Amino acid sequence: MREGESIVRVQGLVKDFRPGFGLRKKRVLHGIDFEVKRGEIFGFIGPNGAGKTTTLKILMGLIRATEGEAQILGHDVGETAFREHIGFAPESPYFYDFLTGAEILDFYARLCAVPRKRRRERVQEVLELVGLGHAADMRLRTYSKGMLQRIGIAQAIVHDPSVVFLDEPMSGLDPVGRKEIRDLVVRLNADGKTLFMNTHILSDVEMICDRVAIIVQGRIAYQGQLDDVEGGGERQFDVTFSSLSPDFAEESEARFEAQLSGRRDCVTLRVSQKHVSELMQGALAHGAIVEEVLPVRAGLEALFLDAVAGKLTGDAK
């Protein structure tokens, strides 16, 4: 497969569940279509109960679609053998807690028929990659939530797949844990892996995803490049300073048409991209300290809220 080629293709996917023993069916996916291209980090986002996990479970062969097609790497998701090329980390994973980190990865590597000689080396490699080299011989019952999340990703990549599916990988993690997982995802992508990330945390998506699809009530409300989501307006940045003089802050607010906000001893100015450099130079000259500079991507949140409110139709795709 070449760059930009479709790695995951979903067409007209429908899933009906029969709640309890009743005859009535509940439709949770209403004929969704989307595709993921080689080498991208794809964010599959939507509110709770939108059908994200159901879609992912169909892709993983854990549940069967009622109608429609789903293919990964050109194979129907009902097949088994091609799964040696894919990895899956479920949300809040549970593992055999009587095993150690190294043992559980060895188990999953065996399931993927990784040769015995290669297994030990690969397990150690992956443990180091996810930052658990020190915990290789610790039983999983002693792992923290963040460590379990990382071992979940480790088992998904222990057989070196080309596509990795992550279900809510940052769920329940503290900011440090979230950053570690984000960095890991970016590193895997840099290694040439295609990543499919199921999440409802928009800030994570904005930071690392190339393309997104928004699913709402079992329907795809939007899909496209993240850069397109940000809209045609000029990019905005939040520049946060400490020790910024109030006079300079007020002057900059007027001069750069900035939005001023502050908390404790920090002041944040939201300015357009063209003013960032000038603002920072001026502030530094006035003895301020630059704490952080973050791009503002209000577009995705606005789009997401519009999608949830039903303001986007299929045409918006």
Closer to another protein by CB, 5 or 97: give it. Answer: 97
Residue 57 Cβ, how far from another protein at the closest point, in Å? 7
Closer to another protein by CB, 163 or 280: give it. Answer: 163
First to last CA, the chain: 26
The contacts found for 276-283 with CB under 8 angstroms, 24 or more apart, are: 276/237, 276/239, 279/239, 279/252, 280/239, 282/248, 282/252, 283/239, 283/241, 283/244, 283/248, 283/252
Closer to another protein by CB, 101 or 152: give it. Answer: 152
The residues of the shown chain that bind another protein, judged by CB under 8 A, are: 17, 57, 60-64, 80-84, 86-90, 93-96, 98-99, 107-108, 110-113, 152, 155-156, 159, 165
Torsional class of 92: left (φ above 0), alpha (ψ -120 to 50), beta (otherwise): left
CA dihedral 265, 270, 275, 280 (to 10 degrees): 20
Closer to another protein by CB, 35 or 82: give it. Answer: 82
Largest CA distance in the chain: 73
Residue 116 Cβ, how far from another protein at the closest point, in Å? 10
Residue 253 Cβ, how far from another protein at the closest point, in Å? 52
Closer to another protein by CB, 36 or 86: give it. Answer: 86
Positive or negative, the Cα torsion across 148, 153, 155, 158? negative
Residue 308 Cβ, how far from another protein at the closest point, in Å? 23
Closer to another protein by CB, 99 or 186: give it. Answer: 99
Residue 66 Cβ, how far from another protein at the closest point, in Å? 10
Residue 210 Cβ, how far from another protein at the closest point, in Å? 23
Contact 283, 250 (CB under 8 A): no
Residue 64 Cβ, how far from another protein at the closest point, in Å? 6
Closer to another protein by CB, 100 or 272: give it. Answer: 100
Nearest Cα residue to 266 out of 295, 241, 288, 294: 241
Residue 218 Cβ, how far from another protein at the closest point, in Å? 15
Closer to another protein by CB, 18 or 134: give it. Answer: 18
